[in-house]
Amino acid sequence: MMETIKHHVSDDLLMAYATGNLAEGFSIAVAAHVSMCDHCRSMLESFNALGGALMEQYTNITVADCAFSKTLERINACQSVSQPEKKLKSDFPEPLSDYVGHSLVDIKWQPLGMGVKQAVLETSEDATARLLYIPAGAEMPDHSHRGLELTLVLEGAFADENDYFAKGDVEIADGSTNHTPVAMDGKPCICLAVTEAPLKFRKMFHRLIQPLIRI
């Protein structure tokens, strides 16, 4: 399949994901993107191989006496005597399906106004992950950021002052980013947005309702 994704996860984020140093919300976004992107999947495999090579250099690592038995317990706990389950067709990348299920129909959306809807995922408090549904031609409020934001396009596309982002693309935004994302191409845009801090809205109305919509 031809690679059409143009906006990728940064090497720093991929390395942090590979070493287990990303907050849960950001890990979901990176894992979902990697499942859609041949380029980033290859880069992640390289980082994992590098980590394995470095680990092999340390031969005198001390482990607890019970480490082996606990490892066997965890393996046995994961084993199942039943037949492997048939994979369900999903509207979402597999890493995201673990959190939201397989169907858009089952998502419990919270309306935000102007047809825009969100569904906040249950993750650790280090970052907030949410699905966003933006109707065709609708725009998100003009805002900047108090920290890192990753936005992964799952369906449709959006554009802002910086670029155009289609399915599989990731926009990485931070405190230097001011933008007004708009759903493009005459169809709704569904994306996964992960933030480590509340957004900075420019209009007073959006700042007033911000605690209610948790964004």
For every residue of 99-165, DSSP letters joined together read: HH-S-GGG---EEEETTEEEEE----TTSEEEEEEE-TT-BPPPEEESS-EEEEEEES-EE-SS-EE
Q: Would you put residue 166 in left (φ > 0), alpha (ψ -120 to 50) or beta?
A: beta
Angle at 64 between CA 61 and CA 69, to 5 degrees: 120
Name the residue with higher pLDDT: 192 or 212: 192
Looking at residue 47, which CATH number applies to its domain? 2.60.120.10
Q: Name the more confident of 65 and 173.
A: 173
Domain count, the chain: 1
- Which domain range does residue 191 map to? 1-215
pLDDT at site 151: 97
Q: What is the pLDDT of residues 113-135, one digit of tens each?
A: 889 999 999 999 899 999 999 99
The pLDDT of residue 81 is: 43
- What does the buried/exposed string (b/e) look like for 77-111 if buried means 16 or more CB atoms within 10 Å of the residue's CB? eeeeeeeeeeeeeebbbebbbebbebebeebeeee
Q: Is the pLDDT reported for residue 167 higher than 50?
A: yes
Q: pLDDT digits over 74-116, tens only? A: 666 655 444 445 556 788 999 999 899 999 888 999 998 889 9
What is the arithmetic mean of pLDDT over 157-175?
95
The mean predicted confidence, pLDDT, of the chain is 85
Enter the pTM of the model.
Answer: 0.80
